[in-house]
């Protein structure tokens, strides 16, 4: 399967006083794509995952238009209780940003991280990026 692609519409309110999409809106775009990738398709992840880190490199400003942004997501690193999602945010044919999110599987009853299950590892493997 490799990369997962999800289209995310922009909202007029995502723009700021500098007339480009505000940096805080990017986190919502990442979240929408991540939820589409996992939680709408794989119920096991909805039971306990938290975010431990976000990174974003802004490459080009985005100005509101009615066409959705295209986000490509893939899994880069998998550890015992964590995994990293990499993203590219495309504004048409222009790469506007690159991002990464570190997710930790979490046991809310015990209030601590938990190890990834074999089922979860299998799901993550289907989103591993194909070598160029």
Domain map (residue ranges) of the chain: 4-125
CA gap 112, 12 in Å, rounded? 39
Confidence band, pLDDT 50/70/90 cuts, at residue 11: very high
- Whether the pLDDT of residue 131 is over 60: the answer is no
Q: What residues have CB less than 8 Å from 65, skipping those under 6 apart?
A: 10
pLDDT at 43: 63
- Whether the pLDDT of residue 88 is over 60: the answer is yes
Read off the tokens for 109.
């009853």
Q: What residues have CB less than 8 Å from 60, skipping those under 6 apart?
A: 91, 94, 95, 96, 97
Top pLDDT among 120 and 26 is at: 26
Task: Say what the pTM is.
Answer: 0.90
What letter would DSSP give residue 128?
B
Top pLDDT among 132 and 27 is at: 27
Model pLDDT for residues 32-80, shown as the tens digit of each residue: 999 898 876 666 665 688 999 999 999 999 999 999 999 999 999 999 9
Cβ 99 vs Cβ 86: under 8 Å? yes
Quick one: fold of 4-125?
Thiol Ester Dehydrase; Chain A (3.10.129)
pLDDT at 86: 97
- Whether the pLDDT of residue 85 is over 80: the answer is yes
- Percentage of the chain with pLDDT > 90? 73
Give strand pairing partners of 113: 106
């Amino acid at each position: 399967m490799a990369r997962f692609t999800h289209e995310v519409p922009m909202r007029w309110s995502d723009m700021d006083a500098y007339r480009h999409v505000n940096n805080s809106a990017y986190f919502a775009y990442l979240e929408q794509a991540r939820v589409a990738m996992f939680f709408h398709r794989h119920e096991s992840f909805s039971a306990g995952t938290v975010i431990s880190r976000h990174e974003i490199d802004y490459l080009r400003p985005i100005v509101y238009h009615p066409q959705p942004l295209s986000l490509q997501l893939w899994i880069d690193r998998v550890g015992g209780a964590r995994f990293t999602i990499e993203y590219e945010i495309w504004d048409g044919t222009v790469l506007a940003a690159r991002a990464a999110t570190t997710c930790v599987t979490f046991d809310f009853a015990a209030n601590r991280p938990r190890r990834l299950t074999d089922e979860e590892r299998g799901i993550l493997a289907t989103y591993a990026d194909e070598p160029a």
